[in-house]
A = this chain, B = another copy of it.
């Protein structure tokens, strides 16, 4: 099932940019869990357009619970979320049916679905589909928090502007502080520089990419499975479902490739409560695919928004000739800002699934 992931907690996403609605179906949530819709709305607002450097398309994106919730609590059955599509301007996309946008799914989708896919606004590949993903992940975050598991993320870089990395150990308030900022970063000054970088790109009818660092705290050691079903594999499968993600690394990631083992290894230690920990966390909380009790840390790389207002070289699918393309419509010059809660959402869903699978022995 292409548009779903997870084992015990299974999330499916549906909808197209310019269809009646979009949504998510979540199967496997524990029953009796309160869903705080205000907190959920605040979480979803973090991925909303309308802020500086984001698209002018702004929709309320209030998730309706079609099923799975009774009197404000999960009722044990599949939770269907539906979000209306209210603000679509299909005319913006009239010229795209025959002229695929470079580095979009347009051409690949044209071949795959023999020209029959509804690709207006990117169709099912649209960034709008991350709204129901956030709704699902926001619910997972609430359930995780009650079990002592917290998920946070921040922009690690935009273009060449760098934020600080997460410290090795983080309390939940640290995540909250980041989330409260217009640009979710640790170093506020870096955030301002990022905004300038984004505005400059917009002024040039261009876009920029960036990286997001995400952390999951509170997962007990011993979760996950070896080889192809480790925590890394589970996160990887889900994270590459977020539009524009082209890279993923865990803990020290690619930096470890330049280090020697003596520097990359995480020495073990025992804290005052007798809990075994590591002194550093280059492993990102995962060894052999299995949690070791340290925070799970990963970094995601997003390419710049491929939709830019500059004329670009494309082709006419019907004529099989080169042609110039001008993309109209409303597009983020930098998707990274809005992608932060999306990464958190995906991380939360994988973490909750992992908790529910547990460690069957």
A308–B2 alpha-carbon span in the complex (Å): 42
A41 within 8 A of B: no
Contact B301 A253 (CB under 8 A): yes
Q: Which of B2, B64, B107, B288 is A125 in contact with, Cβ under 8 Å? A: B288
A257–B288 alpha-carbon span in the complex (Å): 28
A73 within 8 A of B: yes
Contact A247 B236 (CB under 8 A): no
A52 within 8 A of B: no
Chain A: residues with Cβ within 8 Å of the partner, total of 154
Contact A254 B14 (CB under 8 A): no
A225-259 toward B: CB 8 Å interface, digit per residue (1/0)?
11111101100111111010111111111101111
A108 within 8 A of B: yes
A112 within 8 A of B: yes
Contacts of A30 in B (CB 8 A): 360-361
Q: Which of B77, B256, B268 is A107 in contact with, Cβ under 8 Å? A: B268
A348 within 8 A of B: no
Which chain B residue lies CB-closest to A120?
A: B70
Contact A129 B227 (CB under 8 A): yes
A261–B200 alpha-carbon span in the complex (Å): 13
6 tightest Cβ-Cβ pairs between the two chains A and B: A105-B288, A2-B225, A32-B116, A111-B222, A247-B249, A31-B116
